[in-house]
Structure 1
Amino acid sequence: MTPPATAPAFLARHGWAGARITPLAGDASFRRYFRVADRGRSAVLMDAPPDKEDSRPFLFVAQFLLANGFRAPRLLAADLDEGLLLLEDFGDRRMGPTLACEPAREEEVYAAAVDLLLALHRAPPPLELRPYDRAELLREVLLFPEWYGRAAGIDADLESYTNAWDRVWGDVLAESDQRPVLVLRDYHADNIMLLDESAGPAGLGLLDFQDALAGHRAYDLVSLLEDARRDVSPRLAAAMVDRFILGAGVDDAERFRAAFAVLGAQRNVKILGIFVRLRDRDGKRGYVDMLPRVWAHVARNLAHPALAPVRAWFDAHVPQELRAPWCR
């Protein structure tokens, strides 16, 4: 986590000469983050190597969120050729670590996060966003056989695997086409900052939304409640799904719950592949420690009747000993 060599000159050009640069927690991408401190002010330096990361989608979605009253980090300076962005600093009160220290606030904070989604879905998504369509859903679930399956020695039949998924996401795709919403795609406790009540909807700040698409309204709710990084109790998850259904005016609750399960399976199976890829391709070994929790999510997802074809595929091709116990 050494700052890029070009950082001091970049900061000097934008009024931060001599500022102290210290590392912040990174994410699963090639981006790195640093806190920049100077004379009582602070900002966040994002290092996104342009040969590996395109920062323009981040800036586009941030602008949309800010224009619609949500709290995304404001851009202070940028050099896209060098892959450097200087952003507003939201501080250190991430939702996950804060709730670990203040567990009594869990229901209150999750309710605020659900309410933010409800508000976000009232704003039509930008027309420029790509749809979260079949091609994208399929590309993501194929990460499981490509990375997890290969590492575990699973001889996957890709044709039957694809056919199983195609049999379960028809309703999801139909609603995504008819009433798409902005899907942030990584809306979970480590990407939500606790600010204050005057800071926009629910007093929450948003991070890591550069991969946003236009898709189904259940997706980010799944991301929030089926978190790879922390446990959410079944009671709290059920209460938050009920809160969303009521707040969104969902007219067919069972159909929505089925879509929630399908998207949960799709997302969590994708994560199984991504976390093994992070270990095997990128040398980031810590992510596989979370795989038992992700497998528990998959098991709950596959128990829903809407996932019967996918459950049958997993039962036929992925024995129990190659699931949660194997992945460490």
Structure 2
Amino acid sequence: MVSAVSFRKTDLEEFLQNYFYKGFQSCIPLQGDAGLRSYYRIKESDDRSYILMDCPPTYCSIDPFIEIAHYLRSQNFSSPEIFHFDSKKGFIILEDFGDVSVKNVIQNSPHDLHLRKNTYSSMLDVLILLQQNIPTFSLKIYDNNLLLNELKLFTEWYILYRLKRNLSIIELDDFKDIWQRILNHQLSFNNCLVLRDYHVENIMYLESYKGIKSLGLLDFQDAIIGSPIYDVISVLEDARIKVPRAFALDCLKYFAAEKKLELPDVLVDYHILGAQRNLRILGVFARKYIRDKNGNYLRYIPLVLEYLNYDLSHPIMLKLKNWFSKIIN
């Protein structure tokens, strides 16, 4: 019997032959993301390189990635050019942005505070410009129902990982009721493009460009219409690199001033959406461990919990903080 894996390997080889009809020198696997997509760097004999994205259609469609990539390029942001794709089978050949991410830039100069400040200001500047326009094509709205639904990742996977049991009906109902009340306190409108995975490992440093063009955007296929604060949280509460609280607050002040928003309003949404996002991430990391037998993401949990503890410090979050303290001993 021929396996589905064999079929996909044959499809991939045919896809590559259609584009690289003269052949290529190498195809090297790269580190993937928390999903089921795979990435490879393909080099031709003249050392030109490309990125191959392999996204099984049973996992998700590549069409949103393609559509958003074209939109970002049309708005003068640096997103990878798409050279060849097969929507039906889930393959894309992309522009190669290299190996240097914003995370690498920051970690390679840990004591250069000026560099760190400028780098984070640039990431926020991208968001400020990005939020000036909304795509004309249809995207989901990050409404309260979707935010609540995402919290199932926490209640179904992180609780099981942490407590080795499921929540009782009463515990779960309390959690949902608390969150429904919290989400009603949001002050910002769902009125801008949210990339959702906007963090230092998904932003590449493009040395040959200046200004916002020097930041290469990746992993935006889950983009949605939502709060202008959400992607700011992705930057300032990054599970993969610790952002000091005082520095994060300075960044928030900068963002609020540039957006002409009141800082207390920004902080309300920051704490609400920050807590929601971090609970979701805890669930994602726990699911990777339990379901996918991948423990690589467990090392990020302590920092996510540290961010969550800050998010729960706002008075609006008091009932959730009490629930969390009672359940997660």
TM-score normalized with structure 2 length:
0.91
Q: What is the rounded CA distance, in whole Å, between the counterparts of 1:129 and 1:53 in structure 2?
A: 15
Task: Note the 1:161-176 alignment, pairs <5 A.
Answer: 161-172=175-186, 175-176=188-189
> Deviation of residue 142 (structure 1)?
1.9
- The match for 1:115 among 121, 125, 136 is 125
Pairwise CA distance, 1:65: 0.9
- Kept after mapping to 2: 8 A contact 1:125/1:214: no
Q: Is the 8 A contact 1:71 1:200 kept in 2?
A: no
Partner of 2:86: 79
| Change over 3 Å in CA distance of 1:46–1:171 after alignment to 2 | same
User: Aligned-residue CA RMSD in angstroms?
Assistant: 1.8
Amino acid at match of 1:11: L
Verify: 1:32 aligned to 2:38, yes or no. yes
Q: 1:281 to 1:229 in 2, by over 3 A?
A: same
Which of 224, 232, 235 is 2:246 aligned to?
235
| Corresponding residue number in structure 2 for 1:301 | 311
Matched, 1:14 2:25: no
TM-score (ref. length: structure 1): 0.91
- Residues 62-211 of structure 1: pairs in structure 2 closer than 5 A: 62-103=69-110, 104=112, 105-151=115-161, 152-154=163-165, 155-156=167-168, 157-172=171-186, 175-177=188-190, 180-196=191-207, 198=209, 201-211=212-222
Kindly indicate whether the alpha-carbon contact (under 8 Å) linking 2:79 and 2:217 is maintained by their aligned counterparts in 1: yes
Counterpart contact for 1:73–1:89, Cα < 8 Å = yes
> How far apart are 1:98 and its partner, in Å?
2.4
Q: 1:108 and 1:200 mapped to 2: Cα distance?
A: 10
Confirm or deny: 8 A CA contact 1:32 1:47 kept in the other structure: yes
Count of aligned positions? 314
The answer (yes or no) to whether the contact 2:158–2:282 under 8 Å persists in 1 is yes
Unaligned 5+ segments in structure 1 are: 320-328
**What's the offset of the Cα at 1:197?**
6.6
Deviations 1:198-233 (A, max 9, x none): 367252010001111100000000000100111111
Compare 191-200 and 58-67 and name the one that shifted more: 191-200
Provide structure 2 residue ranges, at least 5 long, that are not aligned to the other structure: 1-5
State how far apart, in whole Å, the 2-side matches of 1:108 and 1:199 are.
Answer: 13
Question: Is the aligned partner of 1:60 residue 2:67?
Answer: yes
- Change in Cα spacing, 1:34 to 1:200, as seen in structure 2 (3 Å) is farther
Q: Give the match's secondary structure for 1:189.
A: coil
* 1:212 has 2:223 as partner: yes
Identical residues among aligned pairs (%): 34
Cα shift at 1:29: 0.6
1-structure distance, mates of 2:63, 2:243: 33
Please tell me whether the aligned partners of residues 55 and 61 of structure 2 are also in contact (alpha carbons under 8 angstroms). yes
User: After TM superposition, what 4+ stretches of structure 1 lie above 6 angstroms from structure 2?
Assistant: none
